[in-house]
Every structure is written in structure tokens, then in C-alpha cells.
Amino acid sequence: MMTDRPKPQSRRWPALALAALLGATAAGALTPAYAFSAQPGGYADLVHRVAPAVVNIEVTRKAEAVDFDPAQMPPGFEDFARRFGMPFPGMPNGPEGDAPQMQGLGTGFIISASGNIVTNNHVVEGADEVTVKFADGTRLAAKVVGTDPATDLALIRVETDKDLPYVEWGDSSALRVGQDVVAIGNPFGLGNTVTAGIVSALGRDIQSGPFDNYIQTDAAINRGNSGGPLFDAQGNVVGINTAIFSPTGGSVGIGFAVPSESAKVVIADLTDDGKVERGWLGVSIQPVTEDIAAAIGIDAAKGALIAEVSADTPAAKAGLKRGDIVTAVNGTAVEAPRDLTRLIATAQPGSEVGLTVLRKGAPTDLSVVLGTRSEQPA
């Protein structure tokens, strides 16, 4: 089995098995597309309402140069290549000619009437040109405002003289396992496709990055759904479809979406200056094992154990010490080290956060003014 991100379609990209990610939908009025409750008869009204805000993203980039030694080719191969139109040194699109273009397709969704669009980083990564196709067939050139590979999110923008339909962020922190969700995307380039399912699990860590906190859903998400929205039953975006777990590359009912509570912080940061600034403590952390829990006399092996506090860091200035166990940040429970990493990273540098700490088995509260994660030594 393998964990993979649904990838944009590649029309001419060699050695890549990529699938389409189209978001073109039925035409609709240019009004905000949100807050529409699903009816007992299905999700038709909800989809009609939100679909105009889902767009198709077309990307183009040049292929990477490939080292090629014509002396290694058998005699007569050059004539063979020319006869059958194969790239060859000195020929157009050959190793010594212009690099061939690679084209791909992806999905995005509009979050403002002025033209801000959210998608996955891997949809637009390395693109020389980005074009957005809207529900009415209009195509506009888009600018990549900023990307965040750590969360696989990207913000692109189009310039337009009319208001665009858009969707609103939902509250992923309020999701419950078993709750209905709806995904919109274009799996395998088949065309606009709506799938529905439930929230299968929350807080999934699939080892794709330092801030994994995925929503797992059984709504069919295939290679090609990347960047598409995951809606709750009110038509609000609670996730961005990003990854699948599959032994075949197709949906087996295990898909993953970046929660809106994480995404909207990243996207808001990208909107300002195209960069993401993350909070920083200045500590090394490790899990609380059963043996450690027993040694210090606590019931559950939960929290993040401070293994080291670097000198002259926010943590040191706040009085955090080696051996402390952080159990909450601003009242949000820390079950494991990755929770602390994520909660601190999503806080703004310069902001003050409250830490609940177990020190020698006794609870204590500390306040920390966070630094900027980018200031850390490499």
C-alpha cells in the first residue's frame, strides 16, 4: 500500500502517472456560494449553490533538461528518430532544442469576490503559467501569490472587473466523526464530479509533513481531486482535498483533507505578503512514553516532553525547563509532540500563548511570547 497525494493531470509529462483535477461547474449567479443546508432528498441544492465557486486550474511548465549522450545510441538511430518524429539532439524539442512543455490540470475554489483562489501547492508548484477556467468558460491568467509546501497549500489570484462567486470557510474544529461531507473535483479527468461521505476520522498523521492533522473521509477522492473543497452539510469549506491512501492509485475510501482551521490561517498569511510566518518556542521535544509516565507518577502517557531548551529563546525566557511536559496550549490539549509543533507553528510570531505544563508531576502555567520559526538555525 502507499500514501499518495492526488496529483494534477499531466498531458505530456513523461514517467508520471497523474490524473486530472478539474473544477469547472454549471453556470450560476455571481453571488456568495455558502450556508445552504442539504435537504433530505440529497445534496443537489447545496451543490447547485457552491459549484460555481469551484474552478479549473491549468498549469504549464518546461520539462527538466535530461543528460543525453548521442554516442551511446546504436548506429542509424538518428535516422530512425527523425523518421518517426522522436526527439534527438539538434532536433526541436530534443535534448539540444527547446525543452518540451508539460501541462497539467488541477482544482481550486474561490474565497473572495475579488479573485483569491485556494488550491494545493503541488498543483501549481514549478508552473511557468497558471490559467483559471471558470464555470462560464472564461479563462483568466492567474498569479501565484504564495505557497506553503509544509501544508501543501497555495494561494493564486486573478484580476477581474466583476465580482466572482465564492465560498466561505467552515469550522473544522467542530467536525465530528460520522458527520456528512461533500467533495467536488474532477477525478481522472472525467469531468465535474460530486461525491459524498462522512468524516471517518480526525487528526490523522500520515507522515507527509510536520503539521499533519488531516480530516479522513470516505467520500471518493481520487488522483485528480487535489485542491478541491470538502464541504460540510451547510456548504462551508471544512477541508482541502489533498491526499489518498491506496494500493492502486484509485479511491478505496480513504482520503485526506487539510482542515479549514489550519488552512485559513496559512491562506490569510499568504494573502499579506505571499509568505508564511510561524511561531517558534526554541525547544527539542519527544513523546511521553509509558515508562516516563510511570516514573513521574502520571496516569496517561500524553503530552510533549521538553528534551532540551535552547539558550536565549522564547522558551528559555518564559522559564520552560528540560523535563517539563506540555499538556496544553491556550487550553487546547497536547496529546503528542506533533500537537505542540502544530499549535505553536500556527500561532503568530510575537503573540503570547499560554502553556499548561507538568513539572515534576505538578501542573503549572507559563506565558510565552513566540519568536519566528524562520529565525532558527538550519
Read off the amino acid at residue 314: P
CA 18 – CA 20 distance, rounded (Å): 7
Sign of CA dihedral 229, 256, 272, 342: positive
Active-site residue (options: 10, 148, 152, 208): 152
CB atoms within 10 A of CB 17: 10
Chain centroid, CA 19 distance in Å? 17
Q: How many CA atoms lie within 13 A of 308 on its CB side?
A: 3
Active-site residue (options: 10, 200, 208, 226): 226
Q: Alpha helix (H) ranges present in 104-231?
A: 121-124
- Give SS3 for 317: helix
* Backbone φ and ψ of 357, nearest 5°: -130, 140
Answer yes or no: 37 catalytic. Answer: no
Active-site residue (options: 10, 122, 148, 246): 122
- Give SS3 for 228: coil
Answer yes or no: 226 catalytic. Answer: yes
Answer yes or no: 173 catalytic. Answer: no
CA 284 – CA 300 distance, rounded (Å): 21
Residues labelled as active-site residues = 122, 152, 226
